[in-house]
């Protein structure tokens, strides 16, 4: 008999699942592409998890985070639904206890979190500009015809420096084309791109913040060695990449779930692995009750409405 | 004449004054998606969000039959001072027939100010004008007292949305009151309404108080700031704004040498960060952050229209204030984007930060 706590991070690009045991060790983890279908990917993840763990396992608590946290929280029956900034910080503070600065770069957003004595004291999140995120690299990899997995090695192997404008993807792209025509190799251009992304990130998110070591770099983009070395060059200090760098959000929400359940001693709301086979129907409608015209999200299970949110006045949320 | 005004905050107040002076008032509709769409379509792309929303709101008011728009001018080197010029030119180009009466500070152009007053005064006697002004000023003071109560009560309400509904009822009560006595009654009824709201008991040391500062329009007008006050309220947070109408009037209606209003005090508090007038509400913003910090608030949310120059200046000073005083500040930039998910994530993380500071760990 084993007790485990689940953390589920539903992001725009990937859905990650982590299972922790009573000692806080990761006993299972998954990194799944969301492909625009958060519910499906979580269901697949749960089925996969069930296959891989002891049949006698007891799920003691579940936490969700990421942009799909609320929807998936309803689906699986989460005990903790937390924003991804807190979830990431929680995980990092446990893995690297003296961390002071967290760089997190995901598929569609990036964050910087400043920590003092294991407390979040400041943070910033970028969601308006694609130039500082993984999508930017994905897009350029496609343009150059280089698989994104090879990006890091090619950047490290480059011999010359080339400066590419990182202010905006559009400028970066025209700059890249120009530099290609000057005769720079693909590797050199990729290195230039990595440096451009880091410059953009530091300018956008680091503005006005005191960046102090230890630095921890996490999120899907941390897999890219080129970006890691660009960070080290930019800030002039070593950057730590934690073992579970690409599932830190899920790890954090599992830790939060574990802490909460241990503190309160209550039973989990987890619907069980059967949740993977239930037919959840999320839909939205515009409430015309007043001039706000709120977009209300409704989740149905077997034609029964189980959750609604998004209304500002509480008319629908309270109706259940 | 059929009169209207820009929609901002507690609009019953402006309506009341114009009504008392014998004008037919056309209420501008509360800014909706349509207002924003109209405003964005006809305003210059680079203009700030308040200009666009007010543009749309004027258009809707004219569609409802408005002949004259009464508005205030801006002061200092901020675009707001040119609002009326831009608005009236666009309205003219788009064949919206409307006239503007713009009140700039009376200390700048006394003659123009008097002319405007005479137009608004119409056939009313000076006695009536004075009486109406006093009545409306009294009403604003009462409404501000009640609104501050609303902003506290909302954090602990048992049934979500109950306080907001009560606040709407209160504004209606005042809308129907035209005499001093009726105002007094509306005030008492309003207090009664708020005291009847069932509250969840929260220990004093668990309460969280957040101040909202920034450019006046995005701070005062809930329909374009994601209803920030309600959002924070629903997360169990007491709020207080930097701007209330009473303060604005006290500050703008008195000449400098005898102006000892709350706002001058706030301005001096911020002077070590922004010593000179740089337009907009930048000086107020930093002053209020210092003030909220001194008064023991847990944090401040700083709102700015996307691309607002004065607020960009104050935003870049915020880290220094936080370093000096230790008060956490979250800056949110407001534009036509209506998706609230990202800002909600920021707000939730900000509250975690504040609560984490108390228990000295991430929570």
- Quote the CA–CA distance of B12 and B190 in Å, as a whole number: 15
Taking contacts as CB-CB distances below 8 angstroms, the residues of chain A near B322 are 122
CA A110 to chain B, closest CA, distance in angstroms equals 12
> How many residues does the structure list for chain A?
320
Neighbour count for residue A161 (Cβ, 10 Å)? 11
- The shortest CB-CB distance from B230 to any of A84, A90, A312 is to A312
- Contact residues for A52 (Cβ-Cβ < 8 A; gap 6+): A28
Q: Could you tell me which residues are beta bridge partners of residue B238?
A: B209
Domains within chain A, CATH numbers bracketed: 2-88+249-277 (3.30.420.40), 97-241 (3.30.420.40), 280-319 (no CATH)
pLDDT in tens, B309-344: 889 999 999 999 999 999 999 999 888 876 677 888
Residue B75 above 70 pLDDT? Answer: no
Angle at which helices B341-359 and A84-95 cross, to 10°: 40
Closest Cα in chain A, distance from residue B221 (Å):
13
Give the A:B interface size as CB pairs under 8 Å: 79
The fold of the B203-363 domain, in CATH, is Rossmann fold (3.40.50)
CA B291/CA B310 separation, integer angstroms: 19
The C-alpha of A297 sits at a distance from chain B's nearest C-alpha, in angstroms, of 13
Taking residue B130's Cβ as centre, other Cβ atoms within 10 Å add up to 11
Are A124 and A209 in contact by the 8 Å Cβ rule? The answer is yes
Closest residue in B to A292 (Cα) is: B32
Task: Specify the higher pLDDT residue, A277 or A260.
Answer: A260
**Mean per-residue pLDDT of chain A:** 87
What is the DSSP track for B56-74? Answer: HHHHHHHHTT--EEEEE--
Among residues A245, A252, A200, the alpha carbon closest in space to that of A224 is found at A245
pLDDT tens sequence across A201-251: 888 888 888 899 999 999 989 999 999 999 999 999 999 999 999 999 999
Candidate from A20-34, A232-246, B102-116, B190-204 with smallest mean pLDDT? B102-116
Which residues of A fall within a CB distance of 8 Å from B363? 86
Residue of B nearest to A67 (CA): B341
Interval A36-54 mean pLDDT: 87
Structure tokens at B38: 């109209």
- List strands edge to edge, sheet with A119-126: A119-126, A110-116, A101-105, A215-218, A239-240
Statement: residue B232 has pLDDT above 80: yes
Q: Which of B116, B38, B51, B110 shows the shortest CA–CA distance to B78?
A: B51
Contacts of A93 in chain B (CB under 8 A): 362
Q: Which residue of B has its CA nearest to A317?
A: B160
Burial A96-127 (b: 16+ CB within 10 A, else e): beebbbbbbbbbebbbbbbbeebbbbbbbbbb
The CA distance from A32 to the nearest CA of chain B, in Å, is: 22
Nearest by CB: A313 against B164, B316, B356: B164
CA distance A229 to chain B (A): 28
- The nearest alpha carbon in chain A to B227 belongs to A312
Per-residue pLDDT, A292 = 66
Mind telling me how many Å the CA of B131 is from chain A's nearest CA?
35
* pLDDT per position as a tens digit, B93-145: 999 989 888 887 666 677 777 888 888 887 788 888 888 888 988 999 999 99
Residues in chain B within 8 Å Cβ distance of A293: 32-33
For residue A86, give the nearest of B227, B230, B362 by CB distance. B362
State pLDDT tens for residues A290-309. Answer: 766 778 888 888 788 888 87
* Whether pLDDT at B76 is above 60: no
pLDDT at A102 over 90: yes
Show contacts of B337-340: CB within 8 Å, 24+ apart.
Answer: B338/B33, B338/B36, B340/B226, B340/B231
Give the tokens for residue B319: 């880290």
Radius of gyration of chain B (CA): 21
Q: Is the pLDDT of residue A133 over 90?
A: no
A288 falls in which pLDDT band (50, 70, 90)?
confident
Classify the phi-psi angles of B360: left when phi > 0, otherwise alpha if psi is within -120 to 50, otherwise beta.
left
Report the residue of chain B nearest A128, measured CA to CA: B342
Query: Distance between CA atoms of A224 and A198, rounded to whole angstroms?
Result: 12
Least CB-CB distance to A83: which of B316, B345, B360?
A: B345
| Cβ pair B342:A127 closer than 8 A | yes
Q: What pLDDT score was predicted for residue A151?
A: 85
CATH 3.40.50 fits B2-124, yes or no: yes
**Average pLDDT over chain B, rounded to an integer:** 87
Q: Nearest by CB to A89, which of B346, B360, B362?
A: B362
pLDDT at position B262 is 77
pTM of the model: 0.87
First to last CA, chain A: 37
Question: Percent of chain A scored above 90 by pLDDT?
Answer: 33
Closest in A90, A121, A317 to B160, CB measured: A317
Tokens 């920034």 correspond to B214
Q: How far apart are the C-alpha atoms of A141 and A135, rounded to whole Å? A: 10
Residues of A in contact with B321 (CB under 8 A): none
Give the nearest partner residue to B353 out of A121, A125, A313, using CB atoms: A121
pLDDT for B43 beyond 70: yes
| pLDDT number for residue B188 | 94
Task: Find the CB nearest B362 among A118, A314, A318.
Answer: A118
Q: Which residues contact B314 (CB under 8 A, 6 or more apart)?
A: B274, B282, B285, B286, B302, B304
Quote the pLDDT of residue B129: 86
Distance CA A78, CA A64 (A): 6
Distance CA B53, CA B276 (A): 29
Tell me: pLDDT of B300 over 90: yes
Q: For A57-67, how does the pLDDT look when each residue is reduced to its tens digit (9 = 90+)?
A: 889 999 999 98
Give the pLDDT of residue A37.
Answer: 82
- Return the residue in B163, B225, B362, B363 with the most chain A beta carbons within 10 A, the one to mutate for interface testing: B362
- Residue A114 CA to residue B163 CA, distance in Å, equals 36
Ramachandran angles phi, psi of B171, nearest 5°: -60, -35
| A chain contacts of residue B234, beta-carbon cutoff 8 Å | 314
pLDDT for A61 equals 93
Question: Residues of B at the A interface (Cβ-Cβ below 8 Å)?
Answer: 29-30, 32-33, 159-161, 164-165, 223, 227, 230, 234, 316, 318-319, 322, 328, 341-342, 344-346, 348-349, 352-353, 356-357, 360-363
pLDDT of residue B293 exceeding 90, the answer is yes
Test B161 with A208 for CB contact under 8 angstroms.
Answer: no
* B60 pLDDT tier (thresholds 50, 70, 90): very high
CB contact under 8 A, A313 and B161: yes
Measure CB to CB from residue B349 to each of A123, A292, A315 and give the nearest one.
A123
Residues of B in contact with A315 (CB under 8 A): 161
Question: How far apart are the CA of B319 and the nearest CA of chain A, in angstroms?
Answer: 6
Phi–psi pair at A313, nearest 5 degrees: -90, -15
B143-177 pLDDT per residue, tens: 999 999 999 999 999 888 889 999 999 999 999 99
Q: Is B178 helix (H, G, I), strand (E, B) or coil?
A: coil
For the cut 70, the answer to whether the pLDDT of residue B79 exceeds it is no
| Owner of token pair 């258009």 | B59
Look at A117 and B360 and tell me if their CB atoms are within 8 Å: yes
Contacts of A317 in chain B (CB under 8 A): 160
CA distance linking residue A247 with residue A262, whole number of Å: 23
Query: Is A208–B316 a contact, with Cβ atoms under 8 angstroms apart?
Result: yes
Contact B322 A122 (CB under 8 A): yes
Of A85, A208, A209, the CB nearest to B345: A85
pLDDT of residue B258: 64
How many CB atoms lie under 10 A from the CB of residue A320?
A: 8
Render pLDDT for A182-205 as a digit per residue (tens, 0 to 9).
888 888 989 998 998 898 888 888
Output B253 or A186, whichever has higher pLDDT.
A186
Residue spans of alpha helices (H) in chain B: 12-20, 33-42, 49-63, 83-93, 110-121, 126-153, 162-175, 180-195, 216-220, 228-234, 245-253, 262-270, 282-294, 309-325, 341-359
* Interval B294-311 mean pLDDT: 91
Residue B15 dihedral angles phi and psi, to the nearest 5°: -60, -45
pLDDT digits (tens, 9 = 90+) for A115-132: 988 889 999 988 666 667
> DSSP characters for A235-247?
HTS-EE--TTGGG
Locate B268 and state its tokens.
């001096």
Chain B residue numbers with beta carbons less than 8 Å from the beta carbon of A84 are 345
Angle at B206 between CA A92 and CA B168, to 5 degrees: 110
């Amino acid at each position: 008999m084993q007790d485990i706590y689940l953390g589920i991070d539903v992001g725009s690009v990937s859905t990650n699942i982590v299972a922790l045991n009573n000692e806080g060790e990761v006993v299972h983890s998954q990194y799944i592409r969301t492909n625009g279908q958060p519910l499906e990917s979580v269901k697949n993840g749960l089925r996969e998890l069930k296959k891989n763990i002891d049949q006698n396992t007891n799920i003691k608590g579940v936490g969700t985070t990421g942009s799909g946290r609320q929807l998936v929280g309803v689906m699986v029956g989460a005990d903790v639904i937390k924003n991804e900034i807190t979830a990431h910080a929680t995980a990092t503070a446990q893995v690297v206890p003296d961390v002071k600065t967290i760089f997190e770069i995901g598929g569609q957003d990036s964050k910087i979190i400043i920590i003092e004595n294991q407390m979040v004291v400041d943070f910033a999140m970028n969601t308006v500009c694609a130039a500082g995120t993984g999508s930017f690299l994905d897009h350029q990899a496609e343009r150059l015809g280089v698989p994104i997995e090879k990006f890091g090695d090619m950047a490290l192997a480059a011999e010359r420096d080339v400066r590419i404008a990182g202010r905006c993807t559009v400028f970066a792209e025209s700059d890249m084309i120009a530099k290609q025509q000057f005769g720079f190799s693909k590797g050199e251009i990729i290195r230039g791109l990595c440096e451009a992304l880091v410059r953009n990130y530091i300018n956008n998110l680091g503005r006005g913040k005191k960046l102090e070591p230890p630095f921890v770099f996490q999120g899907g983009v941390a897999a890219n060695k080129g970006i890691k070395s660009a960070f080290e060059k930019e800030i002039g200090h070593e950057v730590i990449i934690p073992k579970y760098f690409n599932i830190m959000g899920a790890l954090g929400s599992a830790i939060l779930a574990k802490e909460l359940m241990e503190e309160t001693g209550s039973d989990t709301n987890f619907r069980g692995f059967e949740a993977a086979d239930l037919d959840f129907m999320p839909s939205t409608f515009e409430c015309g009750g007043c001039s706000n015209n709120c977009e209300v999200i409704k989740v149905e299970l077997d034609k029964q409405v189980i959750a609604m949110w998004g209304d500002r006045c509480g008319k629908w949320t309270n109706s259940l | 004449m059929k009169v209207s005004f820009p929609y901002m905050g507690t609009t019953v107040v402006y309506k009341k004054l114009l009504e008392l002076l014998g004008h037919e008032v056309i209420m501008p509709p509360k800014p909706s998606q349509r207002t924003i769409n109209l405003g964005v379509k006809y305003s210059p792309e680079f203009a700030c969000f308040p200009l666009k929303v007010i543009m749309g709101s004027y258009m809707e008011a004219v569609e409802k039959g408005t002949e004259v728009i009464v508005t205030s001018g801006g002061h200092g080197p901020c675009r707001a001072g040119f609002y009326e010029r831009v608005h009236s030119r666009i309205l003219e180009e788009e064949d919206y027939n409307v006239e503007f009466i713009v009140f700039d500070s009376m200390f700048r152009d006394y003659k123009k100010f008097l002319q405007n007053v005479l137009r608004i005064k119409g056939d009313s006697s000076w006695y009536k004008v004075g009486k109406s002004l006093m009545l409306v000023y009294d009403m604003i003071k009462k409404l501000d007292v009640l609104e501050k109560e609303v902003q506290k009560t909302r954090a602990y309400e048992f049934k979500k949305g109950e306080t907001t509904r009560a606040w709407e009822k209160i504004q209606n009560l005042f809308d129907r009151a035209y005499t001093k006595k009726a105002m007094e009654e509306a005030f008492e009824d309003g207090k009664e309404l708020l005291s009847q709201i069932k509250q969840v008991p929260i220990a004093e040391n668990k309460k969280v108080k957040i101040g909202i500062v920034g450019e006046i329009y995005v701070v005062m007008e809930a329909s374009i700031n994601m209803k920030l006050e309600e959002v924070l309220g629903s997360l169990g947070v007491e709020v207080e704004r930097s701007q209330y109408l009473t303060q604005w009037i006290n500050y703008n209606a008195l000449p400098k040498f005898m102006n000892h209003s709350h706002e001058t005090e706030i301005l001096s508090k911020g002077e070590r960060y922004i010593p000179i007038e740089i337009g907009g509400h930048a000086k107020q913003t930093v002053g209020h952050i210092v003030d909220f910090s001194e008064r023991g608030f847990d944090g401040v949310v700083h709102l700015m229209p996307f691309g607002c120059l004065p607020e960009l200046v104050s935003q870049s000073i915020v880290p220094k204030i936080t370093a000096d005083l230790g008060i956490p500040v979250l800056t949110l930039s407001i534009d036509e984007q209506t998706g609230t998910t990202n800002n909600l994530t920021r707000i939730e993380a900000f509250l975690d930060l504040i609560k984490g500071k108390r228990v000295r760990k991430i929570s």
